[in-house]
């Protein structure tokens, strides 16, 4: 959570930082602030609200001169969102100023110690404690800022990505990381600091990603010095060339990132299987699987750990792995798994699924699994992310940046990677015939085109959205492969329109949820031809006889559901295990249009953030 940006170089820092904050707003958006060094002093402005509120306020409030500055966009953890708790935070002397992403867990005891030593605090944040701790060390030990940061961080328990500077040394910014991402863009006589590379992509393609427990002193016109926080060892920084481009992180004519990302799915899925699905050669090539084939074949079971939408993709994979490769699968909420003292053995394979690769619970779950000897395979979207690095092996989804908080293309590309894995393992284990295998590959190759066709329902879905936008509850039902899709459809609606929605296995309805059904209740039922069709049609009859409003997601040319449902949205036909890649499309569009009609902030829904780097 929280986005941090910094700049030191020869240009004006302000426009770089404000634009960078706008790009990082997906990480948190309850308050924002900037501190600039104008040649004499620090100019600081911060406010509760969005980066646009900060911009409006700041340009009337302070001069925006200066070639050194830091900025922050916040998702509150310690202290409610208000002006005072917003970052940056000054130290008591006013010499140091800091921005921070993460949580200092022992902040309370540190704060008490500092109060005993005469420090005072304006905010309720752990961050203000940290900057004063650094100041205290700097004075007492009579050391430079970099050393003071290092000593202070060795007293801290928790997670952080920080950037701090001293107005008396306005030629350097000190940064450090543990558990929260931090990238340094390396330009020509200039450096950029950010939670991800998006704030600096138009200025430089060269970046250093700090590893956990590393810090760096970024000096104007010099090289970056990276050290280990624990033992002061110098580290040779690896300068990576970024593949990201500007177009990928802009809206490209769409009203919202979410809509853009929904429409990017045909290409994203294609990118996911490019070079991996070789239908002519009847082959699937996934380096991470290939290199560890023995481990996969000897595994007793797969345990999937993930959160939110990624957990739903994990549930789909449970059906695929068991169905095709006959490997037992358990799908775990990472947040529960990590605290449950689970039974894990060296013969378990953990698949950690995460778009951001930074989700704290998922990261902790894989650390636990590794400590007990399990092999960890990461399915991440963000290249070089913490989970991708922590995993023993993995496969990227290659979906491109997903900026809308509601996950869309991450879900379909995760399912694509997991399907490729299941197919490869099924072939290796001989649980699928060569003709079936080939048929699956050919069918998977058609999915991008079929997603294009599914997207054509957009205008019709919008009319359905208009009819049901004022409903206060929604039920989503599906069976088999489409049960997780029902859960995902309900999550999409909840998170961006704030309408209560629940997903259920269609057959479970009679065990309770059926009591909810009356003429006010819209029920979205996934009823594709492949996948217990007749059973689902019976469930639809049950809803109909209780006067529920039925929105059916059906296969092209469907007859039976059409006769019963109030509305049907067609998707192209495919084999059963691939139906989630198509049925999820109208559900994404439905939640999108309802949220737009209700005038909700689609890309930045309240209380949420794109990557959840706190517990």
Q: Which residues bind ligand M6R (CB under 6 A)?
A: 307-310, 354-356, 359, 362, 405-407, 491, 495, 611-612
Helical segments of 230-290, H only: 257-263, 265-273, 287-290
Least CB distance from residue 267 to ligand M6R, whole Å? 20
Coil, helix or strand for 37?
A: strand
* Beta pairing, strands 191-194 & 3-8: antiparallel
Least CB distance from residue 53 to ligand M6R, whole Å? 23
Measured from each CB, the residue nearest to ligand M6R is 308
* 547 classed as catalytic: no
Rounded Cα distance between 426 and 439, Å, is 13
* 380 classed as catalytic: no
DSSP characters over 82-149? STTTSSPEE-TTSSEEEEEEEEETTHHHHHHHHHHTT---SSS-HHHHHHHHHHHHHHHHT--HHHHH
Residue closer to ligand M6R by CB (options 67, 416) is 416
Residue closer to ligand M6R by CB (options 27, 72) is 27
Q: Which is the catalytic residue, given 2, 307, 380, 577?
A: 2
Vertex 436: Cα angle to 432 and 442 (nearest 5): 130
- Backbone phi, psi, residue 484, to 5°: -60, -30
Residue closer to ligand M6R by CB (options 35, 602) is 602
Among candidate residues 228, 242, 247, 248, the one with its CA nearest the CA of residue 186: 242
Sort 323 into a burial class: Cβ within 10 Å, 0-12 / 13-18 / 19+: middle
Residue closer to ligand M6R by CB (options 32, 406) is 406
Q: Do residues 193 and 214 make contact, with C-beta atoms less than 8 angstroms apart?
A: no
Least CB distance from residue 492 to ligand M6R, whole Å? 6
Residue closer to ligand M6R by CB (options 18, 418) is 418
Least CB distance from residue 594 to ligand M6R, whole Å? 15
Least CB distance from residue 37 to ligand M6R, whole Å? 34
Query: What is the strand order of the sheet 172-178 is part of?
Result: 89-90, 96-104, 158-166, 172-178, 214-219, 225-228, 234-235
Least CB distance from residue 380 to ligand M6R, whole Å? 8
Residue closer to ligand M6R by CB (options 45, 272) is 272
Active site residues: 2, 610
């Amino acid at each position: 959570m929280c986005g941090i940006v910094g700049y030191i170089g020869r240009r004006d820092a302000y426009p770089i930082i404000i634009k960078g904050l706008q790009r990082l707003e997906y990480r948190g958006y309850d308050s924002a602030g900037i501190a600039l060094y104008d040649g004499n002093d620090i100019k600081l402005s911060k406010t509760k609200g969005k980066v646009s509120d900060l911009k409006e306020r700041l340009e009337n409030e302070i001069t925006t001169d200066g070639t050194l500055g830091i900025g922050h966009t916040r998702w509150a953890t310690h202290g409610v969102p208000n002006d005072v708790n917003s970052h940056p935070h000054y130290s008591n002397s006013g010499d140091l100023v800091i921005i921070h992403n993460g949580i200092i867990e022992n902040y309370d005891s540190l704060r008490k110690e500092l109060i005993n030593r005469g420090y005072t605090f304006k905010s309720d944040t752990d961050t203000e404690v940290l900057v004063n701790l650094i100041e205290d060390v700097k004075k007492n030990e009579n050391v430079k800022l970099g050393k003071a940061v290092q000593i202070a961080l060795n007293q801290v328990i928790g997670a952080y990505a920080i950037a701090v500077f001293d107005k008396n040394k306005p030629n350097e910014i000190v940064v450090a990381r543990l558990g929260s991402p931090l990238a340094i863009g390396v330009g020509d006589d200039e450096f950029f600091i950010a939670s991800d590379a998006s704030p600096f992509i138009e200025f430089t393609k060269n970046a250093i990603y700090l590893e956990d427990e590393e810090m760096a002193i970024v000096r104007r016109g010099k090289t970056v010095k990276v050290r280990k926080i624990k033992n002061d060892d110098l580290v040779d920084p690896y300068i990576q060339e970024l593949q990201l481009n500007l177009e990928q992180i802009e809206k490209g004519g769409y009203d919202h990132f979410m809509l853009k990302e929904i429409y990017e799915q045909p290409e994203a899925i294609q990118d996911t299987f490019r070079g991996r699905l070789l239908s002519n050669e009847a082959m699937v090539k996934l380096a991470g699987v290939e290199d560890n084939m023995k481990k996969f074949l000897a595994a007793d079971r797969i345990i999937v750990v993930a959160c939110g939408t990624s957990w739903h993709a994990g549930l789909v994979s449970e059906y695929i792995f068991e169905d095709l490769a006959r490997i037992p699968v358990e799908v775990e909420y990472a947040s529960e798994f990590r605290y449950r003292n689970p039974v894990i053995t060296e013969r378990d394979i953990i698949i950690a699924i995460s778009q951001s690769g930074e989700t704290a619970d998922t990261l902790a779950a894989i650390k636990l699994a590794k400590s007990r000897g399990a092999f960890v395979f990461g399915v991440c979207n963000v290249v070089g992310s913490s989970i991708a690095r922590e995993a023993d092996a993995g496969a990227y989804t290659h979906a491109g940046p997903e900026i809308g908080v509601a996950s869309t293309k991450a879900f379909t590309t995760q399912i694509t990677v997991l399907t490729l894995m299941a197919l490869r393992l099924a072939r290796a284990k001989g649980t699928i015939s060569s003709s079936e295998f080939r048929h699956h590959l050919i069918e998977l190759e058609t999915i991008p085109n079929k997603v294009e066709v599914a997207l054509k329902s957009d205008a019709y879905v919008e009319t359905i959205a208009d009819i049901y936008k004022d409903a206060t509850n929604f039920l989503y039902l599906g069976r088999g492969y489409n049960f997780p899709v029902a859960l995902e459809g309900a999550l999409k609606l909840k998170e961006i329109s704030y309408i209560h929605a629940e997903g259920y296995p269609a057959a479970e309805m009679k065990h309770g949820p059926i009591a909810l059904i009356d003429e006010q209740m819209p029920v979205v039922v996934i009823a594709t031809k492949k996948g217990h069709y007749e059973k689902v049609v019976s469930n639809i009859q049950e809803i109909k006889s209780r006067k529920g409003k039925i929105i059916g997601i059906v296969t092209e040319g469907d007859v039976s559901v059409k006769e019963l449902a109030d509305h049907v949205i067609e998707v192209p036909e495919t084999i059963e295990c691939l139906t989630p890649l198509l049925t999820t499309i109208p559900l994404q569009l439905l939640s999108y249009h309802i949220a737009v009609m209700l005038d909700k902030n689609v890309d930045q829904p309240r209380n949420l953030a794109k990557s959840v780097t706190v517990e």
